[in-house]
Structures are given as structure tokens and as C-alpha cells.
Amino acid sequence: MERKIIGKIVNTFQLKGKVKVSLSTDNFEDRYKVGRKVYIKDDNGKEKEYEITSLTLLNPKVVAISFKGYNDINEVEQFINKDIYEDVEIEEGRYFYDDLLKMNVVTSNGKDVGKVKNIIKMKNIEYLIVDNLYIPFQIDIFIKKVDINELKIILTELGDEVVK
């Protein structure tokens, strides 16, 4: 098992202690299931376990959740901008967004583009931030292959056009 980021708390939601979470995982119904234990680091980097007590889908990329023992907006404001972690077993060929960070991006003919600095989500698509480039993260359209073992993301020919 590995501890992975499954989302980022972006704001509070309503007055009863819920938080909005920007998803960085698929299968949110299981990852944020009521009763599931997740981890959040405090300002000193120490992880603490929290139990999820409610889940509401707000849109395909954002959920609202609450934690056991936190029933007021003032109690959860401390979590804004914090990542949520979970212990997960990673299936062969699968990866999490934090696996992509610092991976090398190369063109379809092997030319080095740079390292992934960040991943941002815009309206309908995620983008890999490589230096000052925004590369759409769409497998088979802009991204040919994500090679976890080689720590390399290979672009398609259309992806090559983005980095020209």
C-alpha cells in the first residue's frame, strides 16, 4: 500500500462543517465513502486521521464531505488548501496525479520538453504545467503514453504541436 493524494480541500461548504474537495482521483464514491479514513497534514507536516461522515457530489470534479467531530464552518477552515491522502493499492498500469509531478515530458520523437511542475484543472480538462507550457492531459489525443517505470510522459504528434 502507498499513501496517495486523492484530493485537495479548496473551501468550506455551507455552515455545518463540510469542505469542498477538488478531486484528483477517479472512483470518488469509494475513495470518499462514508466511514472511510483519510489523512490530512497539519501546518507542521504531521498527518492526522479523519473519518468521512458525509459525501455530496457537487460536479464531476468537486465533492463536499464532512469529518466526524467537525460540525461547524469555523472548525474546518483550517483545512482549506490542504491535500487529502489515503492508503491505496495501485493496480498495474494505473497512476495518481502526484505520480506525474516531476516526470519528464518528451515529444513523440524523444526530444526533452521539461519536467511536470504542476497539474491544474480547468473547466473540462486537466493540464500538465511544464515550464511555461500548458499541455492538455488527454490520453491518446495529446499524450501517447505515461511510463511510470521510466518516469516519462510521451506526447503524440498533436501533443508535439502544443510544445512548438
Q: What pLDDT does residue 73 have? A: 97
Residue-wise pLDDT tens digits, 92-129: 777 788 889 889 999 999 999 999 998 887 877 889 99
Q: How far from chain centre, in Å, is Cα 151?
A: 18
Q: What pLDDT does residue 90 have? A: 77
Q: Output the nine-digit C-alpha cell for 124.
A: 473540462
Q: What pLDDT does residue 161 have? A: 93
Q: How many helices (H) and strands (E) does the chain have?
A: 4, 12
Which stretch of DSSP H or E encloses residue 76?
A: helix 73-76
Q: What pLDDT does residue 113 have? A: 96
Rg value, the chain, Cα:
17
Q: Output the nine-digit C-alpha cell for 11.
A: 473551501
Q: What pLDDT does residue 25 have? A: 79
- What is the C-alpha separation between 49 and 46, in angstroms, rounded? 10
Print pLDDT tens along the chain (164 aa): 889 999 999 999 999 999 999 988 778 899 999 999 999 999 999 999 999 999 999 998 899 999 999 999 999 999 999 999 999 887 777 778 888 988 999 999 999 999 999 888 787 788 999 988 999 999 899 999 999 889 999 999 999 999 98
- What is the C-alpha separation between 130 and 128, in angstroms, rounded? 6
Burial class (CB in 10 A: 0-12, 13-18, 19+), 10: middle
Q: With contact defined as beta carbons under 8 Å apart, do 11 and 22 qualify?
A: no
